[in-house]
Amino acid sequence: MRYILLIFFIIVYGCKDDQEYKVATSNSIVSQKETNGDTYKNIATIQVKSLKPQNIAPSSIVKASGVVKDMVYQDNKLYVATDNGSVDILKENLLVGQIKVPEYKDNLYDENKIPTIFSFDTLGEKSIMVRSDETSNKSVYFYQNGKVEKLNINGTIVKARFVDNNKVIFGLLSSEIVLFDLAKKQEIYRVKVGESSLSDMSLDVDKKHLVVGVESGVVYLLNILNGNIVAALGEINRDKTFRVGKVKNLIFCANQDGTAKVIDINKKTYQEFNTNFLVYSGAISPKGDKIIFSINENGDFIFLDILKPQSKSYLLANQKSTPNISLFVDNNTIYTSSDDEHIAMWKIPK
């Protein structure tokens, strides 16, 4: 009788609607098989030095309260996480608000320290923050309706982003991806995408897929619903991927091998933009037809039209130190930052 009941439960619960999120216990690892073995064809290699970009100046430069660690744009506001224990809230380049985190006691050195906020995201009245505190270099705090709650996520977190009003996705240094339920305060799933350290992750616009870049250069595409790996692109980048992004069928990556690449996962092709220098930062536009990426030791950026890079490009030269974040607000408005307090806003001619 026990065996009959066991078979019944397997049939019933194994055939649930596949639109439900996969549930895992908070400490479990959901192992996933890499599903993509396709060969991608290089359809273009463009030497950036051969281009003749038009120089443009930033439309404005603002100074954050500390070194910029993360930036997100929501509801016409720019949220800037810093190493000075604050998230600056800017609207039309004016400071309109600030989330300030108090100092904490470093018991090892017996001194007070200002928290570094490594990652920040906001959605409606909710915010999520990854910051240093007295217990860890990377602790997670959830803000809602004026209340603050510390969440228990095992591992060193690199980045956190809202999937919807009740779910947050975390990227861990161990290359684990965790989907977390804020209402139940538990992990929905935890998947390990590879053996290399995670360097960046990015949600696509509809928040159905997550693209992940790692130390080895492999780029992974995950289905957020269940954590399955849709694609593992392992032979395109030759070294660490610093930044990734996805719009429609296009994946962008900025790489340590001195290239920026645009990968078409439908056509199984890619374009390569060679800078001969580490590409620390970059992004793809909301329409997927423009890209921006850093190109040299001066921290300069180049803005390109993917379809006609030889005829339409702009040089954005105003960074004070090593570039770290590039953020499209729309197809022609961009924020860039580097490892300092300065944020540049750029208006690209249409």
Q: Where are the domains of the chain?
A: 22-347
Tell me the backbone φ, ψ of residue 238, rounded to 5 degrees. Answer: -100, -5
pTM of the shown model: 0.89
Q: Which two tokens stand for residue 70?
A: 């993360």
Q: pLDDT (tens digit, 9 = 90+) per residue, 155-196?
A: 999 999 999 999 999 999 999 999 999 999 999 999 999 999
Architecture of domain 22-347: 7 Propeller (2.130)
Confidence label for 315 from pLDDT (cuts 50, 70 and 90): very high
Instruction: Give the pLDDT confidence score for residue 146 in this predicted structure.
Output: 87
Side-by-side strand order, sheet with 229-233: 198-203, 209-214, 219-223, 229-233
